[in-house]
Amino acid sequence: MMEKEKVIEVKELVKRFGSFVANDHLSFDVYKGEIFGFLGANGAGKTTAIRILCGLSRPSSGKVTVAGIDASRPEEIKKRIGYMSQRFSLYEDLTVSENIELYGGIYGMTMKEIRPRREQLLTRLSFIQQGDMLIKSLPLGLRQKLAFAVAVFHDPEIVFLDEPTSGVDPITRRQFWEMIYETASRGITVFVTTHYMDEAEYCDRITIMNEGKIVALDTPAALREKYGTQTIEELFVKIARPKTVTS
């Protein structure tokens, strides 16, 4: 069930690094409660775009509005969003509990608010005994799941996930997406980038990026029909031929 309220509006976004154009006039909108997939090969510009949306990077030109706030006020945006980065998730030398507490607190929750919710979270993940384990002792799959849980712990309006399932086994990936569904059903918009084309099927709408430009934007079903392919993967190969020399 989608509401038509726009939570992200992007018009003609351009990001340049010197003479290299990483994002070339991107335009798209994201609606509340959607699972919005940002697909593309490595180097296509996905991470650049997501970083701009999160306030980690400044657009070279164009208009970007996230959660109703213009990108020129990143600090306001940050209060309303969650983020899970590609290479790092949680502090390795802190425990599960301590990580949850830290991020809850940074987003403005008090200990009184944090404690019950933390217990809930750990129970849900069947991790209530292991709350005092150091992150560095946990396997990657579990870390990623925990990182996601922490990213939405403070009930943001939108959560940004940058390649969250990289390097994770298929079962854990499945479980991860179940968590994403559950989050979206709570009304939190999920913006996820990935290079796994099969994950495109799990999204409400997807965008395919190639060399800094958006070459497709619609629901997976609509795109498959439009290009006459069985899977998104075939579609991708069809319309996005990565150059042999990337940046």
Partner 1 sequence: MRKLLFLLKKEFRQIRRNPFMARAIIAVPLLQMLILVPAITFEIKRIDLAVTDYDMSPASRELISKLSGSSFFRIIGAAAGQAGADQLLLSGDADIVLIIPDDFSEGLAGFGKPTLQVLADAVNATSAQLGWNYLVSVVRDYNRDVIISSGLAPSAIPGISVSSRFWYNPDLNYKYYMLPGILVILITAIGLLMAGLNLVREKEIGTIEQINVTPVKRWELIASKVIPFFIIGLFDLALGLTVGWIAFDIPFEGSLLLFFACAAIFLVAVLGLALFFSTMASTQQQFLFIAFFFVMIFILMSGIFTPSESMPRWAQQFNLVNPVAYLMRINRMVMLKGSGFQDIARDMGALTILALTFITLAIRAYRKRA
For partner 1, the binding residues in 218-237 under the rule CB under 8 A are none
Residue number, 153 or 236, with CB nearest to partner 1: 153
DSSP collapsed to 3 states, the chain? CCCCCEEEEEEEEEEEECCEEEEEEEEEEEECCCEEEEEECCCCCHHHHHHHHCCCCCCCEEEEEECCEECCCHHHHHCCEEEECCCCCCCCCCEHHHHHHHHHHHCCCCHHHHHHHHHHHHHHCCCCHHHHCEHHHCCHHHHHHHHHHHHCCCCCCEEEEECCCCCCCHHHHHHHHHHHHHHHHCCCEEEEEECCHHHHHHCCEEEEEECCEEEEEECHHHHHHHHCCCCHHHHHHHHCCCCCCCC
Fill in the per-residue mask, 48 to 67: x = in contact with partner 1 (CB under 8 A), - = not in contact.
---x--xxxxx---------
Residue number, 154 or 173, with CB nearest to partner 1: 154
Fill in the per-residue mask, 133 to 162: x = in contact with partner 1 (CB under 8 A), - = not in contact.
-x----------------------------
Residue 165 Cβ vs partner 1, minimum distance, rounded to whole Å? 18
Number of residues that bind partner 1 (CB under 8 A): 30
Residue 186 Cβ vs partner 1, minimum distance, rounded to whole Å? 21
For partner 1, the binding residues in 95-134 under the rule CB under 8 A are 98, 101-108, 110, 134
